[in-house]
Structure 1
Amino acid sequence: MTTIRTAVATAALLAALAACGTPVAGTPAAQPAPPPPPTTAPTTPPPDPAADREAIEAVFHDYYRALQAQDFPTACGYTAPETVSRLLADLHARGVEAATCEEGITAIYAIPENVRNVERTAQNAEIEEVEVNGDQATIRWTSRVEGETRPATTRLRRVDGEWKLSGTGT
């Protein structure tokens, strides 16, 4: 990719070299190269808070729907790479060998209580607030589990233009 500075310097160099040469009889004099066309910096559309909020909420709910359906490849598609790395490292520390996100979630789902917790969370999750800061977002939400309303926080980040779950904390 040629920058304007490089193109102008090249054109100036060519013009200087042409001026130094001795013209041959019958040939037209060298003309300076035309100026390069103006380049425009790629523009990204300004963030649309309403669209971001809608996309973030959709990822959150779609992730839990995929877990409920035990569609682990789809659920894993909603997770950021660092989330998968943390999941696999945590499982490994507990003596569970899993090489992929799908294997990791399958191992988690081997424990019936985990399945019940996901079911309850998915059925009762209510998003209270979505905060977007550039390519980072935070969802504050609650879920009623075992008769108690529990607050939670989920972080997301934009990866290749799509919102991905990047962490959960309480």
Structure 2
Amino acid sequence: MKTIRTAVAAAALVAALAGCGSPVAGTPAPQPAPPATPVRTTPPPSPAADRQAVETVFRDYYRALQDRDFAKACSYNAPETTSRLLADLHTRGVDAGTCEEGMTAVYAIPENAKIVEQVAKNATIDSVRVTGDEAVIKWTSKVNGKTGPGTTHLRRVDGRWMLSGGGTGPSPGSGT
């Protein structure tokens, strides 16, 4: 019986010493614990890169609208922006099932196309504020002879900056 007690006491002593970091002859070296959180393999985007990406989305979106490339323009919309566009059109009696159909309906009104063309040609970005996965662009544009401010909200969706609605400005159906 003493041998069992002695073996248990020795095992407890070995475990205690190993836990304290004092190696005991004949005991395996302690292995490092796996990291608690996964190690990030790609560096986070830099603020300058985010700002550039946000500005590029803004300009490319208006360029696509100006070219009437509605598939491309719609590719810049976050899902909620397209949903909001279609719901707004529905309340106005326009039955559009896709973003592209919605943009086509919006552009059926000549004044809307004129406004977008003016914004696309002369919008000046005044500021870009990026906070995590959300961004706000403040911009100014001259439309129909009047200069006025606009605001565009974006959010990062699966690593891409997309228009997320909630902004103001003279842009039909764009979420800006």
TM-score class, shorter: 0.7 to 0.9
**Stretches of structure 1 lacking an aligned partner (at least 5 in a row):** 1-33
Runs ≥4 in structure 1, deviation > 3 angstroms? Answer: 34-37
SS of alignment partner, residue 70 of structure 1: coil
**1:61-114 CA-partner distances (Å, limit 9, x unpaired):** 000000011100000000100000000000000000001100100100111111
1:41 to 38, 41, 63: 38
Return the TM-score normalized by structure 2. 0.74
Equivalent position of 1:84 in the other structure: 82
**Number of paired residues?**
138
2:121 to 112, 118, 123: 123
**1:26-79 CA-partner distances (Å, limit 9, x unpaired):** xxxxxxxx9697356141523411000100000000000000111000000001
Distance 1:36 1:80 in 2: 43
Distance 1:159 1:101 in 2: 18
Distance 2:49 2:119 in 1: 25
Equivalent position of 2:133 in the other structure: 135
SS of alignment partner, residue 164 of structure 2: strand
Distance 1:96 1:42 in 2: 49
Q: Which one-letter code corresponds to 1:102 in the other structure?
A: E
Distance 1:42 1:95 in 2: 51
Distance 2:101 2:44 in 1: 38
Distance 1:45 1:137 in 2: 19
Identical amino acids, percent of aligned pairs: 65
Q: Which one-letter code corresponds to 1:77 in the other structure?
A: S
Return the TM-score normalized by structure 1. 0.76
**Residues 19-58 of structure 1: matches in 2 within 5 Å?**
38-39=34-35, 41-43=38-40, 45-58=43-56
